[in-house]
Chain A
Amino acid sequence: MTKICFSTLRLVALVFVLGCTSSSFGHSGHVNWGPWSFDWEVKDDAGLAIRSVNYKNEELMYKTSMPVIRVKYDGNACGPYADRISWDSLVNISNCGGGKICQQTYTSGGHNWLEFGILAEIGEYRIYQVYYLSDDGWINAALWSKGLQCEVNHAHHPNWRMDFDINGAANDQLFVHSDGGPNEGWGPGWHKYTNEQQDIKNPPKNTNWFVRDNSNGHGAWIIPGSNDGTFDAFAPTDIAARRYHGSEDEPWKFGASSDVGYNDGESVQEQDDILWYIAHLNHMASQGAGVWHQAGPWIGVSR
């Protein structure tokens, strides 16, 4: 009798699942624009990823994605949350073509730009994840957010995972620069990361990061955006240096309350490396739910 009951329940569950149609798996495409070419995808709940990114016919990135936006409300009034953007969470963008992907070009500040973004709806949040690419070698990886799950101050912590493959995967070097820092042999203010580690920025010292290929010296700047905030107890990291492992390129698995993992102290010197960049976007409830906030780093090609 029990066995029949279980079989019936399973069948009911199966029918329920089969009855639901879904298209939540990945979508991908390709963009050629000005000096840039790249593939894109929305998969692994990691938002809009750009991959095989080339600038002036030389590879810059293997892939940049946004695996999670962790959210913490004061006093745990609601949440915490680990927002992950999938194709299923996307909505049509009414002020940019009406589709699920916004792709448009424009001119601003004497340069041509490409805007490439997706709009997600997760609970009460409206999230616009976007890349602004300029014809002179800049990418602004940005996140816009608005909405309140409950009327309490909170902070969003978007995590970008950046895999630079300048001149191929190997021979990456990771540096941090702080104004007024000592000269360790790389020039004033420069420090080289030797092993996997977490680090924080020091805004008065204009902390920036630089990824370089050791063979040809070409590199990329990672410059914090002006609204990228400061770390806190919930999200105590601004940047995490990691060595590439294919098995660690996976959907976010650290929940809402944990920082990025994968730190086992491996060497990142002249290896294939990953940088995780974390912004801290504060939303005061008194500003209302309709106010949008923006954060995200600038990535600049250096050759």
Chain B
Amino acid sequence: MKERKTATLLTITIAVLLPLLGLACKPKSQQVTLPEKPPQVVRQEFTEKQEGFPPKVKGRTNVSAVAVQELSTSLTDSLAVQTRDAALQDTRVRDLLGARFAYITVDEIEPEKGQTVNAGAAPITRVTFFSYANNAAVYARMNGLKVESVTKAEGFQPPEGREEINTAIALASRDDNLRSKLQGLTGHAILSYTPEGQAGYGHRVLRVTFRQGDEDVPRYFSMVDLTDQKVLSAGALGHENKEQKP
């Protein structure tokens, strides 16, 4: 009788535990059902070139401009300038920059997801430079106005900085091939990655173009090597390979 009771108890226990065990061992992916097919996307049609850039949705109604709400950040204009200046006072930074360099930008380094920044704490920032003397990007990690670390990244090209654009345009404007042709034209410049085997490979090179007013196509170009501070080539657009300098 006692044995039968024990067997019944054991059976009940197993019957209860087995499903629980099954649930515990089920793969993590519990949601199995996925939608059968994607919903239909509502395509928008846009205005043509004549109606300005950027294009707008055709036939739209109730158009209303909304005031942009900008938040104050811990990295204010003046603090960014102070941060850059503080980085430039640091010997480690100056050693990596060498004699010729350009300032690129200051950015706030955001905390890892889930971490919060203490209110009132100095911002953690990254000041980016490009050293022409060492042909490398230089980063200063700052805690407020204090340099925490400095790194040199050879082979890495941060985006073109404003002062680099101005320098490249100025160098191109003085080139013999262009000097007399640029009256009334405006210059633009973009960081260019020179393919291996071409002049300027591995250097900080900007392609400068000169355009008149709202003309679609620029008239002249110049490839400017900021690492060596020289014009690699210049001429009328379409003559890129014919104007290469020695």
Contacts and interface: CB of A to CB of B under 8 A. Distances in A.
A122 B190 CA distance: 6
B107 A186 contact: no
Contact of A79 (B34, B104, B192): B192
B18 interface: no
A93 B105 CA distance: 23
Nearest to A301: B39
Interface in B196-246: 198, 207, 209, 211, 216-218, 221, 237-238, 240
Contact of B207 (A106, A149, A221, A256): A149
Given A96-B65, A117-B54, A223-B38, A17 B88 contact: yes
A68 to B, nearest CB: 9
Interface stretch (A19-27, A53-61, A195-203, A275-283): A19-27
Contacts of A126: 53
Contacts of B163: 16-17, 20, 22
Interface string A87-111: 0110001111101011111111101
A150 B34 contact: no
B41 interface: yes
A22 B105 contact: yes
A175 B190 contact: no
B105 A109 contact: no
Given A45-B158, A187-B34, A290-B49, A105 B217 contact: no
Interface string A120-153: 0111111010101010001010001011111100
Interface stretch (B3-11, B77-85, B144-152, B177-185): B77-85
Interface in B5-46: 28-39, 41-44, 46
Given A95-B56, A132-B44, A24 B193 contact: no
B59 A77 contact: no
Interface centre among B156, B190, B192 (most CB of A within 10 A): B190
A26 B99 contact: no
Interface string A188-222: 10101000000000000010101010110100010
A154 interface: no
B99 A13 contact: yes
Contacts of A138: 41-42
B106 A302 contact: no
B190 A289 contact: no
Interface string B42-67: 11101001001111110111111111
A210 B238 contact: no
A21 B211 CA distance: 26
Contacts of A88: 105, 161-162
A23 B113 CA distance: 26
B157 A150 contact: no
A36 interface: no
Given A9-B100, A77-B240, A44 B107 contact: yes
Contact of B54 (A44, A76, A95, A212): A95
Contacts of B99: 6, 9-10, 13
Contacts of B57: 106, 108, 113, 115, 132
A167 to B, nearest CB: 11
Interface string B154-171: 011111111100000000
Given A17-B163, A22-B105, A106-B64, A30 B69 contact: yes
Contacts of A83: 159, 190
Interface centre among B42, B64, B237, B240 (most CB of A within 10 A): B42
A126 to B, nearest CB: 6
Nearest to B97: A13
Contact of A150 (B44, B77, B88, B238): B238
A263 interface: no
A22 B190 contact: no
B19 to A, nearest CB: 21
Nearest to B221: A150
Given A86-B105, A214-B31, 19 more contacts: A21-B81, A22-B80, A22-B103, A22-B163, A24-B162, A45-B158, A80-B193, A81-B193, A102-B54, A104-B63, A105-B64, A108-B44, A109-B42, A124-B211, A149-B190, A169-B113, A175-B34, A206-B38, A226-B43
Closest 4 CB pairs of A and B: A123-B190, A246-B112, A289-B216, A9-B99
19 contacts: A10-B94, A17-B101, A17-B163, A20-B162, A24-B104, A43-B107, A43-B108, A82-B191, A84-B159, A95-B52, A102-B54, A103-B67, A108-B59, A123-B190, A144-B54, A144-B55, A150-B221, A272-B113, A292-B54
